[in-house]
Amino acid sequence: MAKRFAALLRSVVVGAALLLAAGQAPAAAQARHGVTPGEFDFYVLALSWSPSFCEASGERSARSMQCAGERPFHFVVHGLWPQFTRGFPEYCQVPAPELERRTVNAMLDIMPAPGLVRHQWAKHGTCSGERSASVFFERVRQARAKVRIPAEFETVSDYRTVSPDEVEDAFVRANPGLTREMIAVQCDERRLREVRICIGRDMNFTACQEIDRRACRRDRLVMPPARSGRS
């Protein structure tokens, strides 16, 4: 029994070490299925650094609108996610109501991939409790409009190195009412991948301990540059 417990303990320690080595704290959030739409505590607005996504995706995205189109994307909306204080709802209506093409096309300026728009509606939008998809995406646009991108990240024309703290501080300075307890930076092995900002149902910034606790733990991150092209 003692040997079995020791082996189990070693596997837990190794698993935690691998998570930390990847720059992430161990995940505590749990998805909840079968939740009644509209039952949640706050939103997370996830803003993806598009050049990191495109660089990591490589050939898979070589012909996509986001990574190979005329417009150079910087921070784009990954999603607006209903959250509980602990855990989050997902896929609250299966199958999800089908999106009209005009609804998808209307979001491509800030969510530049039709598949992303459809996926976010099915996984997260159906949990929002909004009366229609178009109303949910109006909420997404409202949340995005609330967040000001720091000036130093509006134009990144060459590789630059930042720390998670520097990114958080820049967003806090640019957005009155936002504090470090309301934002979390996400990363992969070396790149800045995403900034997640917690917003209450009243569309005001709100603290979110669980989201903040799962932030990137790396010291330095690379921000790949945006492509050249027409903005």
pLDDT at 77: 98
Amino acid at 32: R
Strand pairing of 160-162 and 221-223?
antiparallel
Q: Report DSSP letters for 174-202, one per residue.
A: HSTT--GGGEEEEE-SSBEEEEEEEEETT
What does the alpha-carbon distance between residue 226 and residue 18 come to, in Å, rounded to a whole number?
30
Structure tokens at 50: 């598009």
Cβ neighbours for 134, distance < 8 A, ≥ 6 positions apart: 103
Provide the 10 A C-beta neighbour count for residue 23. 21
Report yes or no: 210 and 29 within 8 Å, Cβ to Cβ: yes
114-123 vs 133-146: helix axis angle to the nearest 10?
100
Residue 72's pLDDT is 87
Give every residue of the chain whose pLDDT is below 50, as ranges: 1-28, 231
Residue 136 amino acid letter: F
pLDDT at 4: 41
Question: Which is it for the CA torsion 20, 23, 27, 32, positive or negative?
Answer: negative
So what's the pLDDT on residue 62? Answer: 65
Average pLDDT, the chain: 87
Whole-number pLDDT of residue 101: 97
Look up the pTM and report it. Answer: 0.85
Give the per-residue pLDDT at 68: 84
